[in-house]
Structure 1
């Protein structure tokens, strides 16, 4: 398993994207290019990614949590995970990495416990038929909030590595 982030002899944050159904991949590519960062898109099916540059598609076998397991194994304290999966975000935080939801919601050590509990409660309510709808639709405000939070996470990661922000 390759862990990106070593570029031209300097350590930089790597952005790991939980690629299946991620609505902000293009935004991640643009921000990563501006900051000269590696991006690893992890998915269990082929998807188009930018040619050249520092974006790589990591294909994993199909199966529950296979992509999540790959990201959780590869991620390092200075990296950033982009995922809507709350348990994966918790695993990334436990390794000292940053985690951002696709709507721009930052997962933090202070908020992850309640996010996991809410997820469990909503899952239970769906199982017993109390809730039949899915998540809210993705809105332009979510994209804007995501871009802002990704920028903040990258700046924090660069500062923690002692590289220029």
Structure 2
């Protein structure tokens, strides 16, 4: 009989603005949170916080997350192509603003990302991102808590 491992939260940590919020929700639910990055992570003595530093390759962090996240884990990323790789595997994926990537929404998210990239390349869009606000942080906290509860329920019944 295969023993299932406990649900985990994976964070695509390079330039992630909600690391502290991810830790707060993970602590509330007693979950391990794994920060995956190309470097620059602050070490933690907390055994529930793991830091994984991958090679400097373009998609090394993404590849590591895809290889290690399993059905009903939670992933936090603003990287739409990474989300598109995780969603079909049953991973609950959330952007740093609290926007979920779901089987129903991932196709449109990929199309919009590709459109924006095309507009930047043609000079139609300068690619400025709006600043991250306290409201974004609050919405992310609420959304992550909801997603973790949903994942825990799905994991318990599966």
**Scaled by the length of structure 1, what TM-score is found?**
0.89
1:162 match: secondary structure: helix
Contact persistence 1:17–1:82 (CA under 8 A)? yes
Q: 1:71-95 deviations in whole A, cap 9, x for unaligned?
A: 0111101100000000111111011
Pairwise CA RMSD of aligned residues?
1.4
- Aligned residue for 2:54? 60
Name the structure 2 match of 1:157. Answer: 151
Structure 1 unaligned residues grouped into runs of 5+: 1-8
Cα offset, 1:49, TM superposition: 4.2
How many residues get paired?
155
In structure 2, relative to structure 1, the CA distance for the partners of 1:42 and 1:32 (3 Å cut) is same
Q: Which runs of 4+ in 1 moved over 2 A?
A: 9-12
2:135 pairs with 1:129? no
The counterpart of 1:34, out of the listed 23, 28, 31, is 28
Report the TM-score, using the length of structure 2 for normalisation.
0.93
Alignment of 1:1-165 (within 5 A): 11-162=5-156
Mapped partners of 1:134, 1:45: distance in 2: 25
Cα distance in 1 for partners of 2:129, 2:57 equals 22
For structure 2, the residue ranges without an aligned partner over 5 or more in a row are none
SS of the residue corresponding to residue 41 of structure 1 reads strand
